[in-house]
Amino acid sequence: MKTSDTAHWIDTSESTTDCPPGLEYLAEVNQLTVCHRFDMEVLCYLEANKTYEVMNNQGHRIYVVEEQSNWFLRYLCGLARPFTMTIYDNTGQVVITVHKGLGGSCCCCIRCHSCCPQKLIVEAPPGKTIGYVHQKFHPIWPSLKIKNQKKEDVLKIKGPCLVSGCLRNLNFNILSVGDERVIGNISKLCPGFVKGLLSDADSFKIQFPYDLDVKIKALMLGASLFIDYMYFELCP
C-alpha cells in the first residue's frame, strides 16, 4: 500500500454501535475529498492501476484506495473493465472493498460505458455486503441508484448532460428516493483546489448529510469512485 507523505492520517476513532470496523471515521464527517494519485514511475504505462487518498474537510487522510485489476483487461476493456477497489484505514487494515464486474457481453460494446449499464458491490468489512450501486442506461444523462444490502433503493444520483458537462465542472446531485430532494452532491474540483496537500492530483468532493448512516456514506464513496471512472475521466 503506497501513501503520500503530504497529508496526515487522522487519529483512529472509537467504535460505535452497529458500525462496521473502520467506518467510525465516516460518522464524524459530512464531506470527503478524494484525490487521485499519479505515480510518476508508472505514467508511461497505459491504463495503470489507480490509487486515491480520501480526506476529511480538515485535510486529514482517513483512507487510501487502491485498484486491483488485470492489466490486459484494463487495456482491452477500458471503462468496462472489472476491478476491485481496496480501501485501507490508517492502520493498514482493509475496511471496505468495492467490486465491479466486466461491463458488456460483446466485443462491439465492451468499451462503451453507457450502452452496457454496470453495477458495484460494496462490502464492509470485506466479505459482508452492505449495498450496491447500479448504473441506469441513458445516452446523455448519467443516473445511478444506491441500494442497501436488501437491494432496496435508498438514494439516487443524477448527473449533468454529458454533452455540455465537458465544458464546465461536473456536479452529480444526490437525491432522496421519494421526493427526489437534493441532499448532497459529488463534484469534480477545479485544478489547484487541494494545492499544498496533493499538488499532483485530480480531485473530487462528496457532500452528504452529517447524520446519514455510515454504511450509506461508504456506498457514496464507492459510487464516487465509479463516477470518477465512468464520467470524470471523459471531461478533464
% residues pLDDT > 90 (the chain):
44
> Which structural domain, as residue segments, surrounds residue 227?
8-133+188-234
Residue 152 lies in a domain: no
Residue 19 class from Cβ within 10 Å (0-12 exposed, 13-18 middle, 19+ buried)? Answer: middle
Cell of 125: 468489512
122, 93 in Cβ contact below 8 A?
no
**So what's the pLDDT on residue 108?**
41
Count of domains for the chain: 1
% residues pLDDT > 70 (the chain):
66
- Positive or negative, the CA dihedral 196, 198, 201, 204 is negative
Residue 210 lies in a domain: yes
Range with lowest mean pLDDT among 189-193, 206-210, 215-219: 189-193
Mean pLDDT in residue range 154-163: 85
Mean pLDDT in residue range 37-53: 63
Range with lowest mean pLDDT among 3-12, 26-35, 118-127, 187-196: 3-12
- Entry pTM: 0.80
Cell of 41: 514511475
pLDDT in tens, 74-87: 566 666 677 899 99
Residue 198 lies in a domain: yes
pLDDT in tens, 98-145: 998 866 544 444 344 445 678 899 999 999 999 999 998 777 788 999
**So what's the pLDDT on residue 39?**
57
Q: Which long-range contacts (C-beta less than 8 Å, at least 24 apart) are formed by 89-95? A: 89/12, 89/22, 89/25, 89/62, 89/63, 90/9, 90/10, 90/11, 90/12, 90/61, 90/62, 91/12, 92/1, 93/21, 93/22, 94/125, 94/126, 95/20, 95/21, 95/22, 95/23, 95/63, 95/124, 95/125
Residue 166 lies in a domain: no
| Residue indicated by cell numbers 445511478 | 144
Q: Is the pLDDT of residue 29 over 50?
A: yes
Quote the longest CA-to-CA distance of the chain: 50
59: Cα within 13 Å, side-chain hemisphere: 11
Which position has the higher pLDDT, 178 or 8? 178
Average pLDDT of the residues of the chain: 78
Highest mean pLDDT range out of 5-19, 38-52, 116-130?
116-130
**So what's the pLDDT on residue 236?**
52
